[in-house]
Structure 1
């Protein structure tokens, strides 16, 4: 596309949602996203609670067995083997049952994750099939890639693991600590001795975590978008020696993220290190075994009690660590869910299209206005544009770069809907024509060939076309011999088995338009980026393509402009004048364009339409 599309790209980038501003502290987007699998997640949490409570029983069994052994030794009596075996069976059964319940809970949440991933991707495909084509810019490509890969992966961890791991990490240490107080309140205090200090340090370091996490995620989205933007245009910028300038936007975004991350994480690491030292194993053992030994010597508790509560104290830090990771995952998932919901809420084209068929193929632009931004203050790219394409004629759009020519052309192909006004084809608004692309075909500057076979590329608009029809379209587009010369012919996969020149790719796009055989045709500078030899071949194909059709063409070359039935002069989004070449020679703006085009036209320029 031309400069008009570049304007659209910039406008789209400005509209990119700011995760920091849109962050909902209550996690409402996340709740809405998880609604289809909420029952499964609830079952997973319930099973996790059961598993966590079962984890207490082995410690109860351990205390009972230890006390029986110590009492038997102290009394010089034999150990009650049956009682010991009974408690051992209880220990093994509950431990095994706990693992089984935990496994079932994880299985349920993983199934929920698979289900939700399918639902999200399906909804995205359905949504993207209905959004305006102008929405698909390089910046939006970065957003879509992040949502489909990174964000769904982040939500995966939250669904598949957090309901079970997080619930277990919260309930199991709590249940064990309660049991430690049941064994002896003094041992219970030793078990949690360092936790208040750790919680205080953690609370201090977590201040503003939600906002910071959202800001980090937003900055990562910006870096991702700039990377896609840079890589997509690397060929052109290298050809013109502008790599440094083109790379700067990506580099600046990366450096800004780096500075933000270091300034945020640096203090966190110091506080986190202090907090982690309070849960170190040597310190916990020193407090619990040292304090427990003193209590044993005073005959306040038994060694079995001290052993059980010391083991519980060692498990508490693990539970806290998992719980903190779950909280971090929750923060990340809320931001990811917000971006996914934003994409799923992308504005779509009006679906009022019905079975109305146009009567004839005259095209009328009736006071059409359009802006790439939203809101009343958005700058208009087109301002009440009005003209008519008579059936069976060729109309050329001319004007300086950025005047709105490509925007007009793509609105006819319904890449988006006007902000106001109407475009009618055969007396019917294009938005009301159900199968618009059987009536309107287009060949753009960028041919946009998917990575599929050349046969499928040509038949993209008519999947039911026969091989003979595809070959005939390729012949008419002056590309048949070159396709046949490829090792795999029409089965050659574009971008994988072979690469094509710009002229070859453009002629395949023309073959596609010929096969569709639409009575209205939009040509957006179809030869602008090709060499003179390719221009001649493309022009021969276009000359055959436009016969008998209503054609809207964008072009600057004198041969194109002078050979059409009507010329529409566009400046700053407005139609300045319409008429034939001779009619407009007295128009100063047209005369300037004509002199410039005539001066820069090469000897090998394309022939007349």
Structure 2
């Protein structure tokens, strides 16, 4: 297996028990909220990123604030209506009934004003929601687009040290968290603050005593909720840990289900699961029970506030200090006063979560990118080099296609500074030659292929294709010259034909069939329900060998001048391997082939074999020459031959 492949595969394996993949499950509602390391700096970055949306956000915030003001004024108008009606009802004055009339003109005038206020509140709130939903989705779309583009600009060094799950979480969980906060929490925060302050002002304006009574009841409720939150916090933490342990165990056992069955580990697996599941039950029950008290407690505090206001208001009304309408208004203001408290707390939690997600997203976007790519095309650069050497127009007929000459000129490379992997690697492959790289695991074979493809930048030396240094042309121009067949196969969601063609333009059905026939896959494909139009995916019912044959057919259809074969026959049986070798020999005609192989029997007909160890070429020559030298290669070959005979 290749060095980089082994790293990426190890990162995609299930995580150890007791751990959780980042972004796998967000914090549960009412549970522990992840906090950013630098809230202020991160939010400034988010504001700077969304600066083109700032005018729209400001408009939405103003609309929401004005709409909230309309909502706040409403109860005061209801007070006026109530007082007008009460003043018009019959009354007992000194023991005698006094008839009065209700001023319906005033009542109608106030009622229409009230309708206008609530209609304005509804309209302005709708406009705010529409603007914020549009802004949040556009911002999220822009972030996802930038993350996607950033992935293509990052060097493979980054992905060597970062799991696929982390990057996937950025595009899904983190960007969604940012979008939801922008769309909901930001507007809710502004309206909650406006509603809280406005309701408090209107309450004080109507009566100070009743306002202090309402505040006192609310403070008692806040204290009780704070106590519950402090007690439940530890149980939410335990629940998150237990959830991670349970998820990790299930994922681990599912991924290794065959091994568990083969080694009769079901009983131990069940015992471990029951342990984690019981821990999750205990912590989950306690945390959910305590958090479940919040809503009844809020309801109780709200009802207690109504009772307190009614009692105090009744006493004040009996003394003639307030009108009856003030009590009615306060009944509504109590709700408007207590409602924002929960919304405000939830909005702050969401902002914390948004900042934590933004910190990860912007941290990813700020990662160091690959070096600036060169400009121009391969054909243009080759023409310039040939003209400078006095060989103008020699390659005009080839266009953007390389002849296939490959030169490694004193190449040095290291994944980490001070720890060289490739040392002074020098080799030449003429167009049409088959070059094999062999050696023990970790010798640097796949690293050389990655350097040839310019997946990594060199520490020293040069790699040239047809005399053109790969650093002097765009990476995409380098990649056009290669077709690859790796040890790890890849089948995507699509038909068999689409999997074979992949991104190649202008491929005919006949070319697809010929490629599949060349690798011996045509009869199997024809046996599928819809033949070449059968839909496959990553869980398609194909054997490992059949997937490998499919990827080889894909390489044939690409028709690139240089082939890279990294253990291309490792997943097939001996008979299939022979068929593939015949197909590969036909495919290699007129093309440069660079083969990485552990089965030395597959590269006996190579034009040149480079024997690598510790990043250096220790032997080179043909199969027969290396066997006659009786050195490192001969020992490798003889040991494999002896094991086959045995």
> TM-score category by the smaller chain?
0.7 to 0.9
CA contact (8 A) 1:194 1:279 kept: no
Q: Which residue of 2 aligns with 1:606?
A: none
CA contact (8 A) 2:491 2:538 kept: no
CA contact (8 A) 1:198 1:278 kept: no
Q: Which residue of 1 aligns with 2:203?
A: 180
CA contact (8 A) 2:548 2:571 kept: no
Distance (Å, rounded) in 2 between the aligned partners of 1:544 and 1:235: 41
Distance (Å, rounded) in 1 between the aligned partners of 2:263 and 2:209: 75
1:6 aligns with 2:9: no
Q: Which residue of 2 aligns with 1:25?
A: 39
Q: Counterpart of 2:541 in 1: which secondary structure?
A: coil
Correspondent of 2:432 among 392, 398, 414: 392
Q: How does 1:72-471 map to 2 (within 5 A)?
A: 72-73=88-89, 74=91, 76-132=99-155, 140-196=163-219, 234=256, 276=297, 280-354=301-375, 355-357=377-379, 358=382, 360-372=403-415, 376=417, 379-434=419-474, 435-471=477-513
User: CA, structure 1 residues 572+219, in 2 after alignment: closer, same or farther (shift >3 Å)?
Assistant: farther
Q: How does 1:47-58 map to 2 (within 5 A)?
A: 47-58=63-74
TM-score, normalised to structure 2's length?
0.78
Structure 1, residues 8-30: CA drift from partner, whole Å, max 9, x if none?
Answer: 5568999x999989732113343
Q: Which residue of 1 aligns with 2:233?
A: none
Structure 1, residues 152-196: CA drift from partner, whole Å, max 9, x if none?
Answer: 332232122223222222211220111000011112212222344
Correspondent of 2:58 among 20, 34, 42: 42
Q: Counterpart of 1:175 in 2: which secondary structure?
A: helix
Structure 1, residues 564-593: CA drift from partner, whole Å, max 9, x if none?
Answer: 222222233443333334554557543442
For this pair of structures, how many residues does the alignment match? 592
Q: Which residue of 1 aligns with 2:584?
A: 542
Higher mean C-alpha deviation, range 291-300 or range 352-361: 352-361
Q: Counterpart of 1:539 in 2: which secondary structure?
A: helix
Task: Report the alpha carbon displacement of residue 86 of structure 1 after superposing the two structures with TM.
Answer: 0.8
CA contact (8 A) 1:141 1:225 kept: no
Q: Which residue of 1 aligns with 2:396?
A: none
Task: Report the alpha carbon displacement of residue 53 of structure 1 after superposing the two structures with TM.
Answer: 0.3
Task: Report the alpha carbon displacement of residue 443 of structure 1 after superposing the two structures with TM.
Answer: 0.8
CA contact (8 A) 1:52 1:98 kept: yes
Higher mean C-alpha deviation, range 346-355 or range 538-547: 346-355
Structure 1, residues 464-494: CA drift from partner, whole Å, max 9, x if none?
Answer: 2222332333333332333233332222222
Structure 1, residues 17-46: CA drift from partner, whole Å, max 9, x if none?
Answer: 999897321133433443343332222211
Task: Report the alpha carbon displacement of residue 49 of structure 1 after superposing the two structures with TM.
Answer: 0.2
User: CA, structure 1 residues 218+575, in 2 after alignment: closer, same or farther (shift >3 Å)?
Assistant: farther
Gaps in structure 2 of 5+ consecutive residues:
16-20, 24-32, 92-97, 231-235, 383-401
User: CA, structure 1 residues 23+529, in 2 after alignment: closer, same or farther (shift >3 Å)?
Assistant: farther
Task: Report the alpha carbon displacement of residue 387 of structure 1 after superposing the two structures with TM.
Answer: 3.0
Q: Counterpart of 1:474 in 2: which secondary structure?
A: helix
1:522 aligns with 2:578: no
Distance (Å, rounded) in 2 between the aligned partners of 1:60 and 1:326: 28
Q: Which residue of 2 aligns with 1:597?
A: 640
TM-score, normalised to structure 1's length?
0.83
Distance (Å, rounded) in 2 between the aligned partners of 1:578 and 1:189: 92
Task: Report the alpha carbon displacement of residue 94 of structure 1 after superposing the two structures with TM.
Answer: 0.8
Task: Report the alpha carbon displacement of residue 220 of structure 1 after superposing the two structures with TM.
Answer: 9.6
1:479 aligns with 2:495: no
Cα RMSD between the aligned structures? 4.4
Gaps in structure 1 of 5+ consecutive residues:
208-212, 604-609
